Structure 1
Amino acid sequence: MSEIFDTDVIVIGAGLAGVTAARELGTRGVDTIVLEARDRLGGRLFTEKRLGKYLELGGNWMHWTQPHVWAEVTRYGLEADRLARAEETFWFANGEVCKGDLPGFMQLIDPGMEALVGNAGKLLPRPDLVADSEDFKEADQLTLQQALDALELSDDERQANEAAWVGHCNGPLDQVGYSAALRWTAATSGAWKVMHEASSVYRLKEGNDQLVKSIAGDIKGEIRLNTPVTKIEHDAEGVSVTVEGGETLRARKAILTAPLNILHELDIAPELSEVKREASQTGTASQGVKLWMRVKGPIKPFFAYSTKDHPLSVVRTEFVGEEDAVLVSFGADASRIDVTSIEDAQKALSVWRDDIEILELAAHDWNEDQYAKETWLINRPLAYSQSQAELQRPEGNLHLASGDIANLWAGFFDGAIESGLRVAREVSEQL
């Protein structure tokens, strides 16, 4: 007598990886139920109206060099656009604030960037695959700070390069793996300026949540919001998933899309492999902050870099009006600034601009979010080499998918979609 299942596949999490996997399985005739703990779709993609604008409290940018996400933009006829162009740029050199334009700053950091990541395409010629070269593994042993310190840069060049990378990595550079910088740049074939643009310029004009809503709209199965999973049990025949309230659902397979930092906290039996658990317990290096500010206008759109030692390392203008403007900022360590305190934010902003008045703030604390406990994926040294392949390996009928374990653009929308596509194909082929 064959076992009775509630569905073919249970997808745990309705972020981009989860909804992509569920949509793809549906097109292959596989029945799914998507379980999402939050009251919304998207996971770390989080668009919400704050400060009079639709702000991206989570993931922000995308680009046509990111193939998986751009295919979805094209598929659904979504409109991507850039926001305010910086008319002036501020940065630190020898302890003093310099003022110029963005091309001037890019020229300043170019020698350091080329020396640091110019060989990324050679070290990682196929960033869409799990790297196994000895040269890349050797580079993966270094922190990004160690790699920067090994370069012969002047103080002003070093400070400027550090500030740029803190903005990218959202974590302390002495905890960030050098491989993180190499992987991102390898995704643009070693062209660091393209990588810089791909990671910081274009977003969906009507809000990035249009992407996850469009994909979810094509899911043939059921999506249950406000449904936290409390236990996952898997065996040779299938997977049982218990949700808050006590209901247990049974499926032939399950796809778990939780962020890396919370995997080890989940009640899973049999437990995940030792490598997976250790990778989760060690955690990612991404522990920074993203803070939105509405400021009194009018102002010229600007871009500003401080140093890795400041609470906010990068600030840029995103929206400009006649009477106000909205800035987005990033810092490497969320504990160094209170994102609810205008006084703290004003002090942090004043290192460049003491002529701007902050009116309101908006942020989401991803480090304290129980369903994330991290911002975007940035590996520590050796984490990629030691765990990437294992994190992609299924545990019997339990499969993992997440932007955290993607190959090409890990930590981006593109990586989440890549991972969802890959796992959906693997699951459907096994079924």
Structure 2
Amino acid sequence: MQKSQEGFTWTAKGDFQGKSVLLVEARDRIGGRCWTAEAGDDTKVELGGTWVHWQQPHVFSELQRYDLANFQETVAFPENGEFVVKESRSHPARVQNSAEGQVMMERLEGLMEKFFDNPDYLELDKLSLADRIAQLDSCSQEERSMLSAHTASFYGVSPEKVSFAEVLHTHALCNFDPAMMDIAIMKYKIARGTTAFARAILDDYKRARIFGSPFVSKFVIPTIPINVISSITFDPPLSTLQREVFSTGVTPAKSDKLLVCTSSDLRNGFNVTCEGGDMPYTSGFADGKHGNHTLLTLLAHPGNNLDRSEENIRLMETLRPTGIQVDSACGHLWSEDSYAGGVTPVRGPEFLQKYHDAIRRPHGQVHLCGSDFADGGRGFISGVFEDAYRVTRDILR
């Protein structure tokens, strides 16, 4: 296989079960939405895909293969930690005592049990989060607001645009155990970083590759995120149903992530909630010690220019009553990343019955592939491997 592009000629050498393989990467790095950045003083911070767990079997087997199964732990909700609420830019940060926080968490767990208690799952596929919450007649308006903010915070998307089945899917992967959700999706980070994981896989790939190029060939397995597929021209065009699902059937989860190194004393842990007002952040938590600093992970609404707005960065100093010393901050606006268009795409109401088959159907010799298309670990690193196995099987058949 040879191709000349602006005087550059490449040859794909080797094969995989009789198929010649060329890896083409549009970015100048490997990993896509998995990205470990260096933040000085040998500090590594995860700007994209972050947490893994052995309940995500595909990623865990690969970590074992590449001898990367050493982890750092995130304790987002420490037992005796400092819990803070900041309702708006103008409101001062308020410390929530541990007893009050425990009562709130127990109350929320009870509400989540009601939220998931319905066996007619095909009918529930038609519901949005807002629809499902409206069905809970026994809940007060305050409790409905709590549920709406909590469930929508998973994605940073309006409750009207998220399928109830989407949240149920994640709950099922965690054995229908609310406590397991925190452990399985935001506790264990790869000690050497997700980029080290991606590079180990790349080093194991001995065939041809091109970086820093959006070039594609006649027969292709694109791992393009669903969020940006609607902006791509296909010739011949995608089917009507496929165009519909990529343009309106999913909504990009656009929660951006900002990482702050602070020398403030947060020895007991720290957790802050900022929902309901005009704050650019939705929540934040202490994410372990990094040298002489504590790393704070802040999840944020899109469109706030967090990586370059001095006002929004300085606003972090007000996130606790005694203040926070911001020593350095870094982030990546996935919501403005042209190759990502946000983070995980969130499936809307009726997705399973209308779009599930269409989204995974090949378009001629184009086989769409990636975590966004996975049945199990969708939105997790494990889903990358799961869907790669599916597409490889389909092509070899």
Query: Is residue 2:139 matched to residue 1:139?
Result: no
Report what 2:285 is aligned to. Answer: 316
Structure 1 residue 226 displacement after superposition: 0.8
Alignment of 1:29-428 (within 5 A): 29-50=18-39, 52=41, 53-85=43-75, 86=78, 87-90=80-83, 98-100=96-98, 106-117=105-116, 135-151=120-136, 152-153=138-139, 158=144, 160-229=146-215, 241=216, 249-250=217-218, 253-282=219-248, 283-300=250-267, 301-309=269-277, 310-320=279-289, 323-331=292-300, 333-336=301-304, 338-347=306-315, 350=318, 352-353=320-321, 355-428=323-396
Distance 2:266 2:160 in 1: 35
Distance 1:425 1:271 in 2: 25
Structure 1 residue 275 displacement after superposition: 1.8
Q: Is the 8 A contact 1:57 1:290 kept in 2?
A: yes
Q: Is the 8 A contact 1:297 1:323 kept in 2?
A: no
For the residue of structure 1 that corresponds to 2:31, the secondary structure is coil
Which amino acid in the other structure matches residue 36 of structure 2? T
CA gap of 1:295–1:190, structure 2 versus 1, over 3 A, is: same
Unaligned runs of 5+ in 1: 8-21, 123-134, 230-240, 242-248
Report what 2:8 is aligned to. Answer: none
Q: Is the 8 A contact 1:140 1:177 kept in 2?
A: yes
Range that drifts further, 392-401 or 337-346: 337-346
Q: Is the 8 A contact 2:227 2:252 kept in 1?
A: no
Q: Report Cα offsets for 1:143-162 as digits up to 9, x if no partner.
A: 22332344344566555544
Structure 1 residue 225 displacement after superposition: 0.6
Distance 1:375 1:362 in 2: 17
The alignment-based identity, stated in percent, is 25
Q: Is the 8 A contact 2:272 2:319 kept in 1?
A: no
- What TM-score, normalized by structure 1, do the two folds share? 0.78
Q: Is the 8 A contact 1:51 1:360 kept in 2?
A: no
Q: Report Cα offsets for 1:198-217 as digits up to 9, x if no partner.
A: 11111100111122222222
Unaligned runs of 5+ in 2: 4-11
Structure 1 residue 36 displacement after superposition: 0.6
Distance 1:298 1:401 in 2: 45
Which amino acid in the other structure matches residue 244 of structure 2? E
Which amino acid in the other structure matches residue 324 of structure 1? H
Q: Is the 8 A contact 2:316 2:324 kept in 1?
A: no
Structure 1 residue 376 displacement after superposition: 1.8
Q: Is the 8 A contact 2:86 2:272 kept in 1?
A: no
RMSD between aligned alpha carbons? 3.0
CA gap of 1:184–1:221, structure 2 versus 1, over 3 A, is: same
Range that drifts further, 141-150 or 215-224: 141-150
* Alignment coverage as a number of residue pairs: 374
Distance 2:230 2:289 in 1: 43
Q: Is the 8 A contact 1:401 1:419 kept in 2?
A: yes
Which amino acid in the other structure matches residue 201 of structure 1? K
Structure 1 residue 28 displacement after superposition: 3.3
Distance 1:157 1:322 in 2: 41
Which amino acid in the other structure matches residue 113 of structure 1? M
CA gap of 1:312–1:182, structure 2 versus 1, over 3 A, is: same
